[in-house]
A and B are shown apart, each in its own frame.
Chain A
Amino acid sequence: MKGSIRNIFYFSVMAGLIVLVGQLQSWNVALSILNLCLISSIMALGVNIQWGYAGLFNVGVMGFAALGGLAAVIIAMPPVREAWAVAGSGVAVGIGIFLATSIAALLVYRKLRKGPLRTVLVMLIVILGYVLLRIYFDPTTKVIEKVNPASTGYLGGLGLPVLLAWPVGGLLAGAVAWIVGKVTLGLRSDYLAIATLGISEIIVAVLKHEDWLSRGVKNVNGLPRPVPYEVGLQNAQWFLSLCERLGADPVTFSSIFVKLCYAVLFASVLLLVLWLSEKALRSPWGRMMRAIRDNEVSANAMGKDVTARHLQVFVLGSIVVGIAGAMLTTLDGQLTPSSYQPLRFTFLIWVMVIVGGSGNNWGAVLGGFVIWFFWIEAEPLGLWLMNFLTSGMAADNALRLHLIESAAHMRLMTMGIILLLALRFSPRGLIPERNHQ
């Protein structure tokens, strides 16, 4: 088994790099990187399910991750009682219109046969629902946004444990993926790409501008945590005695301890998703998916409903991305809509999958680790490089100042070059797909 030795080698090198950061920079930094590596790996797994299993090109990863983030707010934040008091009935009306529209559209979709008539009717219902919402729900949003705009100005959430947001985020992402997939799958692969690009921009626009829902660019801060707070730990007797036994500084160690708790949570989710993906890949279902990917025409001829399978896999992958998105927002402790940038949330994940090895789950995980690590470390490295390159110039040289100031943008270019090099010279990735013949 040459392959598995190589894989163990890759993962040990990765672990070694993180330990090195722990030694050279600090354990706090190393654990932050580790946590984001774990989340990135899950996102990469989600994309790999779509791309590696079925050859679907999803350019809307950002949107599905953002939906996960929204779920974290809706599930975990305490409800804003004042807002509900003044706008509760309005919200009820809004939800009523929304549900009525959805049910009516779904009914028409189910009852009528496929054709232009059905599409037109569904669209008319959706448009009518939209107009009604604008007329009856818009005033309510104004009312909600006026409630204490500096601290709340939104509805808040349900006040449930934040861990619940992870599966809910997945479901939310899956539902949107179903709608997008329903329209675009079965057409050219480019169309899915462009449609997902569009939906992700829209989702992020909603998060940025629907203040009543997500506080918009004012951000939602202070999401409840699934793990203890540093201050709480520093006052807990058991923790202090633990610190004493380890000879660690309680303040530093409390933040390391919190990050370790997150790491354990994230790693469990990663392992669970990985286990499920591997199981699916080896199942008859996985074999069929690969058969379809490798030869769509003949699979179609054999009576496989290619479009329906693609829809399945597209929704599944988006669910995984949604879960990861919710986890990320949980880790951040806040929802920051303006932080959702396509280059960071969509294309970076793609680099992870391509570099790691499309079609191989372990490859996607490794790609998530490697690329995130370099994404983070590229900035100090780039800065160092620029300082080095320009060391011959005067300290106030305009070019030198510009180069040092722009070093941060180098990493975009670096990622592009890594993607191009991987695609060209190692198209099967670090850990290539196994042949299950």
Chain B
Amino acid sequence: MTEETLNALALLSNFVLVPAVAYGSQLALGALGVTLVYGILRFSNFAHGDTMAFGTMFTILFTWWFQSMGLSLGPLPTALLALPFAIVLCALFALLTDKFVYRFYRQQRADPVIFVIASVGVMFVMNGLVRFIIGPNDQNFADGERFIIKAREFKQMTGLAEGISIKVSQGITVITMIVVVAALFWFLNKTRTGKSMRAYSDNEDLALLSGINPDRVVMVTWILAAALATIAGTLYGLDKSFKPFTYFQLLLPVFAAAIVGGLGNPLGAIAGGFVVAFSEISVTYAYKKFANYMVPGDDWKADGLMQLLSTNYKFAVSFLILLLVLLFRPTGIFAGKSA
């Protein structure tokens, strides 16, 4: 391979591959929460984006508190230390919403769309609480080391003109995602409670006949959904920044990921997260420099940015993927629960 090609690949890795893997992991964790709630409680939870914001807010508050006490994890962000506490609080709130909002409709066996509207109400409340407690503005709470590999170091190591940088937050995102997903699948496939959740999701009436306690299944589901939301939100916040409204907007890519993979299918949610993330980033990347490396000769220089879609419209990518899936395979890539 020529140096030009290597440079082009490094460029692409730096601006598409690395960010997309990190973003995809965050979306996958978010979509897992959506898909779990859908599989067990059978509705699309519109409050999930704001649950992510809600959980992340607690992470930030605990992080500030720990920082003020001088606690830290050295090179790792303090937020990791705060995360478990935030998960507990977020899960408690999720259980409260179930007790006061959703349980009533479950007993009524209400139509799924009523649950969706109720989740909009919960979304309002959570959104209001977040803005009330921490405010609507950007909060940056990442500390510790910034980079695993800096672009400059990469260039020195390889002698290439293009560098690849990997942020600590990106590394943590991927590792956390792998650990969380492995733990979740172990839980769902190997433990008694996890299997009972799958059974409940498969056939609610038969699960009841088998003596599976629905209240327990629902409770565990909310705890898992809140934990996944908090983890996804915290990782996203570490990688980018925390702003309540951004989290509301994450609802669209997260839902797109869950639907692409097949609602109710955990494996699909993960695949969907990466499909959405890679599409979004590769469609909004400006390929001008890349093309200049790939096409030899100095006389040929690409006009314009060679960007398929401006980053302003990144949400359009989620939307288009959603439309494509609905047009061709409404049950998602991995068959989900709905037709």
- Expressed in whole angstroms, the Cα–Cα distance for A194 and B43 within the complex equals 12
Once the chains bind, are B135 and A406 in contact (CB under 8 Å)? yes
Residues of the B chain whose Cβ atoms lie less than 8 Å from the Cβ of A198: 252, 256, 315-316, 318-319, 322
Q: Which of A203-246 contact B (CB under 8 A)?
A: 205-206, 208-209
Residues of the B chain whose Cβ atoms lie less than 8 Å from the Cβ of A170: none
B56 within 8 A of A: no
Q: Which of A397-437 contact B (CB under 8 A)?
A: 406, 409-417, 419-420, 423-424, 427
A119 within 8 A of B: yes
B147 within 8 A of A: no
Once the chains bind, are B104 and A416 in contact (CB under 8 Å)? no
Once the chains bind, are B323 and A183 in contact (CB under 8 Å)? yes
User: Contacts A201-B249, A205-B316, A423-B118: A416 and B125 contacting too (C-beta < 8 A)?
Assistant: yes
A11 CB to closest chain B CB, in angstroms? 25
Residues of the A chain whose Cβ atoms lie less than 8 Å from the Cβ of B129: 413
B213 within 8 A of A: no
User: Contacts A188-B338, A342-B248: A420 and B319 contacting too (C-beta < 8 A)?
Assistant: no
Residues of the B chain whose Cβ atoms lie less than 8 Å from the Cβ of A262: none
Q: A199-B319, A419-B121 are known contacts; what are 17 more A-B pairs with Cβ within 8 Å?
A: A116-B328, A138-B304, A187-B339, A190-B116, A190-B338, A195-B319, A195-B326, A198-B316, A201-B249, A201-B319, A202-B313, A202-B316, A206-B313, A209-B312, A409-B128, A415-B124, A416-B126
Once the chains bind, are A416 and B122 in contact (CB under 8 Å)? yes
A189 within 8 A of B: yes
B259 contact from A189, A194, A206, A342, Cβ within 8 A: A194
B337 CB to closest chain A CB, in angstroms? 10
Once the chains bind, are B252 and A197 in contact (CB under 8 Å)? yes
B288 within 8 A of A: no
Once the chains bind, are A191 and B127 in contact (CB under 8 Å)? no
A100 within 8 A of B: no
Once the chains bind, are A202 and B319 in contact (CB under 8 Å)? yes
A187 contact from B118, B133, B310, B326, Cβ within 8 A: B326
Categorize the interface residue count of chain A: 35 or more
B124 contact from A55, A195, A202, A347, Cβ within 8 A: A347
B198 within 8 A of A: no
B residues adjacent to A (C-beta < 8 A)? 43-44, 46, 101, 104, 112-114, 116-118, 120-129, 131-133, 135-136, 248-249, 251-252, 255-256, 259, 263, 304, 310, 312-313, 315-316, 318-319, 322-324, 326-328, 330, 338-339
Once the chains bind, are A413 and B322 in contact (CB under 8 Å)? no
Residues of the A chain whose Cβ atoms lie less than 8 Å from the Cβ of B116: 57, 189-190, 193
Once the chains bind, are B125 and A417 in contact (CB under 8 Å)? yes
- Among residues of B, the one whose C-beta sits closest to the C-beta of A120 is B328
- Expressed in whole angstroms, the Cα–Cα distance for A59 and B122 within the complex equals 15
Once the chains bind, are B330 and A191 in contact (CB under 8 Å)? yes
B275 CB to closest chain A CB, in angstroms? 16
User: Contacts A198-B319, A205-B316, A350-B117: A416 and B124 contacting too (C-beta < 8 A)?
Assistant: yes
- Among residues of B, the one whose C-beta sits closest to the C-beta of A427 is B114
Once the chains bind, are B323 and A205 in contact (CB under 8 Å)? no
Once the chains bind, are A119 and B328 in contact (CB under 8 Å)? yes
Once the chains bind, are B312 and A205 in contact (CB under 8 Å)? yes
**Tally of contacts, chain A with chain B, CB under 8 A:** 135
Residues of the B chain whose Cβ atoms lie less than 8 Å from the Cβ of A415: 124, 128
Once the chains bind, are B304 and A201 in contact (CB under 8 Å)? no
* Secondary structure dominating the interface of B: helix
User: Contacts A191-B259, A413-B128, A413-B132: A424 and B316 contacting too (C-beta < 8 A)?
Assistant: no
User: Contacts A198-B319, A406-B131: A420 and B101 contacting too (C-beta < 8 A)?
Assistant: yes
Per-position contact with B for A317-328: 1 when CB-CB < 8 Å, else 0? 000000000000
A229 CB to closest chain B CB, in angstroms? 36
Once the chains bind, are B113 and A184 in contact (CB under 8 Å)? no
27 sample A-B contacts, Cβ–Cβ < 8 Å, listed by A number: A57-B113, A57-B117, A59-B46, A138-B304, A187-B326, A188-B112, A190-B44, A190-B112, A190-B113, A190-B338, A193-B44, A194-B252, A194-B259, A197-B251, A202-B313, A202-B316, A205-B315, A209-B310, A343-B124, A347-B123, A350-B117, A413-B124, A413-B132, A416-B126, A419-B117, A420-B121, A427-B114
Once the chains bind, are A202 and B315 in contact (CB under 8 Å)? yes
Residues of the A chain whose Cβ atoms lie less than 8 Å from the Cβ of B319: 195, 198-199, 201-202
- Expressed in whole angstroms, the Cα–Cα distance for A93 and B128 within the complex equals 47
A44 within 8 A of B: no
User: Contacts A193-B44, A198-B252, A409-B136: A183 and B315 contacting too (C-beta < 8 A)?
Assistant: no
Once the chains bind, are A412 and B131 in contact (CB under 8 Å)? yes
A354 within 8 A of B: yes
Residues of the A chain whose Cβ atoms lie less than 8 Å from the Cβ of B322: 194-195, 198
Per-position contact with B for A342-385: 1 when CB-CB < 8 Å, else 0? 11000100100010000000000000000000000000000000
Residues of the B chain whose Cβ atoms lie less than 8 Å from the Cβ of A417: 121, 124-125
Residues of the A chain whose Cβ atoms lie less than 8 Å from the Cβ of B251: 197
Residues of the B chain whose Cβ atoms lie less than 8 Å from the Cβ of A188: 112, 338-339
- Among residues of A, the one whose C-beta sits closest to the C-beta of B312 is A209
Once the chains bind, are A416 and B328 in contact (CB under 8 Å)? no
- Expressed in whole angstroms, the Cα–Cα distance for A123 and B323 within the complex equals 11
- Expressed in whole angstroms, the Cα–Cα distance for A205 and B44 within the complex equals 24
- Expressed in whole angstroms, the Cα–Cα distance for A232 and B338 within the complex equals 61
Residues of the B chain whose Cβ atoms lie less than 8 Å from the Cβ of A57: 113, 116-117
Once the chains bind, are A201 and B121 in contact (CB under 8 Å)? no
- Expressed in whole angstroms, the Cα–Cα distance for A354 and B120 within the complex equals 12
User: Contacts A347-B120, A412-B124: A201 and B326 contacting too (C-beta < 8 A)?
Assistant: no
- Expressed in whole angstroms, the Cα–Cα distance for A411 and B255 within the complex equals 27
- Expressed in whole angstroms, the Cα–Cα distance for A427 and B316 within the complex equals 35
Residues of the A chain whose Cβ atoms lie less than 8 Å from the Cβ of B310: 209
Once the chains bind, are A55 and B113 in contact (CB under 8 Å)? yes
A420 contact from B122, B127, B248, Cβ within 8 A: B122
User: Contacts A119-B327, A138-B304, A354-B117: A416 and B252 contacting too (C-beta < 8 A)?
Assistant: no
- Expressed in whole angstroms, the Cα–Cα distance for A424 and B256 within the complex equals 29
